[in-house]
């Protein structure tokens, strides 16, 4: 699992979507993350300092590749915009709903 | 088990997440070839799943992800 910057993550994810077009699938997961890099101590009595802020950990995998990124609260808005447009652009294989028939134009 | 409707999933997911935000994992799997999007939210005890083939549902999913991500990356402790 490679930890990437947000921007690099998004470009890599686009490539992964492209790779999975003909076969396979893309899996993405999202989890709350408190920034801890050490394991929790076995001794439950020991107080762990409360995290001051939470982060969001994202992972994406295909058959060949695994990537991950951490989103900081200050970057959430920016990242969301990019992430959502990426999803919308790449998850385009789904069925479209039938459009309601266009109203006939009023004759002039 | 798959839930029947998105609304049902969304409501159940919200409740589950708020019980213990640190435990919950959200994941989704997109298979282009079979035109399928599967969504899962679990706290390792309860598992909620939903699948769809319809494009308009993606918008709802996006909205949900946005809310979730905004909460995950915040100072909120609840």
DSSP B33: T
> What is B6-72's CATH topology?
3.30.720
- Using only the alpha carbons of chain B, give its radius of gyration: 13
- For residue A100, the model assigns a pLDDT of 62
* A91 in reach of chain B (CB within 8 A): yes
- For residue A104, the model assigns a pLDDT of 63
- For residue A43, the model assigns a pLDDT of 80
Cα–Cα distance measured from residue A60 to residue A71, given in angstroms and rounded to the nearest whole number = 14
DSSP A100: P
**Residue located via tokens 């598992």:** B47
Residue A23 pLDDT more than 60?
A: yes
Which region, left, alpha or beta, applies to residue A35 given φ > 0 means left and ψ of -120 to 50 means alpha? left
Contact yes or no for B56 and A97 at CB 8 A: yes
* A95 in reach of chain B (CB within 8 A): yes
B1-24: pLDDT as tens digits: 799 999 999 999 999 999 999 999
Could you give the 3-state DSSP secondary structure of residue A36? Answer: coil
Contact yes or no for B65 and A96 at CB 8 A: no
Which two structure tokens, joined as six digits, stand for B41?
């939210």
- For residue A41, the model assigns a pLDDT of 82
Q: Which of A73, A95, A96 sits opposite B73 (nearest CB)?
A: A73
Domains of chain A (ranges plus CATH)?
2-37+50-87 (3.30.720.10)
Which two structure tokens, joined as six digits, stand for B7?
């609304």
* A2 in reach of chain B (CB within 8 A): no
Contact yes or no for B73 and A26 at CB 8 A: no
Residue of B9 and A94 predicted with greater confidence: B9
Q: Which residues of B28-56 are buried (b: 16+ CB within 10 A; e: fewer)?
A: bbbbbeebebbbbbbbeeeebebebeebe
ipTM of the complex: 0.84
Residue A62 pLDDT more than 90?
A: yes
């Amino acid at each position: 699992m490679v930890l990437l910057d947000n921007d690099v993550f998004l470009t890599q994810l686009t490539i992964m979507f492209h790779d999975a077009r003909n076969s396979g699938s893309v899996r993405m997961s999202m989890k709350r993350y408190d920034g801890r890099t050490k394991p929790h101590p076995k001794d439950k009595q020991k107080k762990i300092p409360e995290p001051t802020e939470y982060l969001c950990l994202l992972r994406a995998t295909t058959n060949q590749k695994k990537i991950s990124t951490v989103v900081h609260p200050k970057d959430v808005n920016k990242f969301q915009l990019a992430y959502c447009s990426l999803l919308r652009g790449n998850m385009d294989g789904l069925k479209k709903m039938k459009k309601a028939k266009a109203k006939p134009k009023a004759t002039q | 088990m798959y839930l029947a409707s998105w609304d049902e999933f969304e409501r159940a997911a919200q409740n589950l997440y708020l019980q213990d935000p640190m435990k919950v994992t959200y994941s989704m799997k997109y298979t282009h070839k079979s035109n399928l999007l599967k969504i899962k939210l679990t706290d390792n005890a309860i598992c909620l799943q939903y699948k769809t083939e319809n494009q308009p549902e993606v918008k709802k999913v996006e909205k949900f992800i946005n809310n979730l991500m905004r909460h995950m990356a915040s100072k909120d402790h609840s």
